[in-house]
């Protein structure tokens, strides 16, 4: 297992639409291990493969928020199959947009379907943090970021800040 570098905005890779996973190869298992290690190290509650630069439809999550009882989830080709009409506002952050948090409104409850590393199809209901997290991560697979739900003013402000930081780093 190894910790991989995170892709940070404004990197255009984050706008790619990731490819479905057809075979669970040793590379896919390795990627899952690396994503979990990278996510726990960050630390974060969710990570999409594109956030370490790999454009395949894989997500790792752990919303248990406990180091003692980790509950790692690995989702291949996840999709939302149902969403509640009731919405909920939650303050979101993203490992690709470090130290920026903003309130986002999304469906309060969802049902999602995915393939696990054993190749089985699983369908699961989610509410609370898990519902927010799975919607946020599936968005990544489609090149969507949580700042896309904010006003243009707020989005432009955060993009400008990170563009400046990237330029400073390139010049340093």
Q: Which of residues 94 and 104 has its CB atom nearest to Zn ion in the complex?
A: 94
Q: Which of residues 85 and 99 has its CB atom nearest to Zn ion in the complex?
A: 99
Point out which span in 11-19, 73-81, 91-99, 112-120 binds Zn ion (CB under 5 A). 91-99
Letter string b/e over residues 71-108, b meaning 16 or more CB atoms within 10 A of that residue's CB: eebbbbbbebeebeeeeeebebebbbbeebebebebbb
Task: Answer left, alpha or beta for residue 131, where phi above 0 means left and psi between -120 and 50 means alpha.
Answer: alpha
- 94 lies in the site for Zn ion, by CB under 5 A: yes
- 133 lies in the site for Zn ion, by CB under 5 A: no
Q: What is the size of the binding site for Zn ion (CB under 5 A)?
A: 1
H or E segment and range at residue 30: helix 26-41
CB of 94 to Zn ion, least distance (A): 3
Q: Is 37 a catalytic residue?
A: no
Binding-site sequence positions for Fe cation: 94, 136, 140
Write out the catalytic residue numbers: 137
């Amino acid at each position: 297992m190894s910790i991989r570098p995170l892709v940070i905005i404004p990197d255009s890779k984050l706008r790619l639409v990731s490819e479905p996973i057809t075979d669970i190869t040793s590379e896919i298992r390795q990627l899952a291990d690396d994503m979990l290690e990278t996510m726990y190290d960050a630390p974060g509650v969710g990570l999409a493969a594109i956030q370490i630069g790999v454009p395949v439809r894989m997500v790792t999550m752990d919303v248990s928020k406990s180091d003692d009882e980790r509950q790692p989830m690995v989702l291949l080709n996840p999709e939302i199959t149902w969403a509640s009409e009731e919405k909920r506002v939650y303050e979101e952050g993203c490992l690709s947009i470090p130290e920026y948090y903003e309130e986002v409104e999304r469906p309060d409850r969802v049902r999602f379907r995915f393939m696990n590393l054993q190749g089985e199809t699983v369908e699961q209901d989610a509410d609370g943090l898990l519902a927010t997290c799975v919607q946020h991560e599936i968005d990544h697979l489609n090149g969507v970021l949580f700042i896309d739900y904010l006003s243009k003013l707020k989005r432009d402000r955060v993009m400008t800040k990170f563009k400046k930081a990237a330029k400073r780093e390139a010049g340093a």
